[in-house]
Amino acid sequence: IDKTLSSAANTASDAAQRPRSDPDRPQFPGGPVSTLTGRADVAAQFINANTGRVSRAQTDPVVALVTPDAVAVANGTKDPYYFETTIDGAHLRVYVAPLSPGTAVEVWSRLNDIDRALADTRTWLALVALGGVLLAAALGTAIAGATLRPVRHLTDLVEEVARTRDLSRRVSAGEPDELGRLAASFNVMLAELEASLRSQRQLVADASHELRTPLTSLRTNLELLERGQPTDPAEREQVLHELVGQIERLSTLVADLIDLARDSETPLAVEDIRLDEVTTDAAHDMRMRYPNVRFQLEARPTVVRGVRSRIARAVTNLLDNAGKWSAPGGVVEVTVGAGEVTVRDHGPGVSPEDEPRLFDRFWRAPSARQLPGSGLGLAIVKDVAESHGGKVRYERPEGGGARFRLSLGSS
């Protein structure tokens, strides 16, 4: 609009300054001023600075547009300017520019049509914006509901598991997105907890069974002694000997249970350990426990990192197992090197059908039921090996017997 008014003012100025010989120049007064602007939608009038009135106009002069500022432009004391005003309901945009000394041209155009168009545009924009907000809210609610549905399902399942303690429940993994990964991780956690709980229950059940036998025997023998039975000194000595053996068995069983039930996160001293020295000490103890068995040790210096007491227990259990199955005068071959302990005995070995359960807790081969032990020795060896990043395996050597290899991570 401003550019149109400025162009119309220039056109009017050029037309007003043409020589009188120009047949297109309007005659004043009387000539229609609208021909000066070249546009039917733009009106014009001229202001005389001396009189402060309209000197020429398109039709009737619009006196309301002759303001002091417009007269100042005619006087040359004010720069050209735009302004807006409303006259008889008509919204006008006015441009005032100097024409010649003492004269100014004033052009204007109605803005009512533009105002109506802008008002309609504002209305439509408001409606479109409101519709967009409502649509976005509806879509956001739908998307949020679809997104949070797996979360709500997971929450409900967690609450149900907490209430019922049923760890066998699982969450549907769904899509391979973040929520799907969360559901899969939760399923893994439930599976681990279920396996841990099952293992604990089995441990308690097996421990109860293993404890019941020696405790029953202890109670029976102690009741006999309380009643003064047996009266024969030799028989009485035999009962006392059995009591001592049963107490030793209980002590070993309790120590084994403590080792198995120890929390893997319990802070224990981790250090560099000379595996050859630990094995040498354990072999010395086994020579005292099994004087009729020869423990033949070949050890090279080797260092591993771990918990000394647990590694010593695992090595001791391997040597004790070999000594227990060795006949009087038998040889147990022990080799240490490169973070590994190898123990080979020349006993009856392990039958193929018993091999799969060799490292199970509380499992004892039928032929071992009459021997001392709790069935936890090799299970502890396996637990120690895995907690130290290693493994234990059974081998069937040529010539009979059994060979166990305990591998631990070297430092």
Q: Note the pLDDT tens digit of each residue in 227-237.
A: 877 778 888 88
Give CA–CA dist 35/44, Å, rounded: 9
Give CA–CA dist 8/2, Å, rounded: 10
Q: Is the pLDDT of residue 264 over 90?
A: no
* Helices and strands in the chain, H and E counts: 9, 12
* Predicted structure pTM score: 0.49
- State whether the Cα torsion 70-73-75-78 is positive or negative: positive
* pLDDT for position 269: 78
**pLDDT per position as a tens digit, 163-173:** 888 888 777 76
Of the pLDDT bands very low, low, confident and very high (cuts 50, 70, 90), residue 126 is: very high
Q: Which residue has the higher pLDDT, 28 or 58?
A: 58
Q: What is the mean pLDDT of residues 266-277?
A: 83
Of the pLDDT bands very low, low, confident and very high (cuts 50, 70, 90), residue 105 is: very high
Give CA–CA dist 254/256, Å, rounded: 5
DSSP run (H or E) holding 391: strand 391-395
Give CA–CA dist 167/165, Å, rounded: 6
* pLDDT for position 135: 95
C-alpha distances in angstroms, 232 versus 56, 235, 238?
154, 5, 10
Q: Which residue has the higher pLDDT, 16 or 97?
A: 97
Give CA–CA dist 99/2, Å, rounded: 18
SS3 state at 116:
helix
**Burial environment of residue 207 by CB neighbours within 10 A (0 to 12, 13 to 18, 19 or more):** buried
- Helices of type H across 169-307: 178-226, 233-261, 275-289
Q: Is the pLDDT of residue 201 over 80?
A: no
* pLDDT for position 6: 93
- Whether omega for the bond prior to residue 230 falls within 30 degrees of 0, making it cis, is yes
- Whether omega for the bond prior to residue 29 falls within 30 degrees of 0, making it cis, is yes
Pairing verdict, β 103-110 and 43-48: antiparallel
**Burial environment of residue 335 by CB neighbours within 10 A (0 to 12, 13 to 18, 19 or more):** middle
Q: Is the pLDDT of residue 14 over 50?
A: yes
Q: Is the pLDDT of residue 197 over 60?
A: yes
Q: Which residue has the higher pLDDT, 300 or 356?
A: 300
Taking the CA of residue 167 as centre, how many other CA atoms within 13 Å lie in the half-sphere pointing to its CB?
11
* pLDDT for position 29: 40
| Amino acid residing at 108 | W
Most confident of 61-70, 146-155, 186-195: 61-70
% of the chain residues with pLDDT over 90: 36
Q: What is the mean pLDDT of residues 297-306?
A: 92
Encoded tokens for 184: 């899969």
Q: What is the mean pLDDT of residues 362-379?
A: 66
Q: Is the pLDDT of residue 21 over 50?
A: no
Q: Which of 69-73, 105-109, 130-134, 405-409 shows the lowest mean pLDDT across its residues?
A: 405-409
DSSP run (H or E) holding 54: strand 53-57
C-alpha distances in angstroms, 272 versus 6, 58, 318, 337, 391?
94, 109, 21, 15, 18
C-alpha distances in angstroms, 229 versus 155, 218, 244, 337?
65, 14, 17, 54
Give CA–CA dist 370/366, Å, rounded: 9
Encoded tokens for 127: 């409606």
| Amino acid residing at 45 | Q
| Residue 305 neighbours by CB distance under 10 Å | 16
Give CA–CA dist 145/151, Å, rounded: 10
Q: Is the pLDDT of residue 22 over 70?
A: no
Asked whether the beta carbons of 304 and 311 are under 8 A apart, the reply is yes
Could you tell me which of 309, 392, 303 has the C-alpha nearest to residue 339? 303
Asked whether the beta carbons of 76 and 68 are under 8 A apart, the reply is no
Q: Is the pLDDT of residue 253 over 60?
A: yes
Q: Is the pLDDT of residue 329 over 50?
A: yes
* pLDDT for position 23: 46
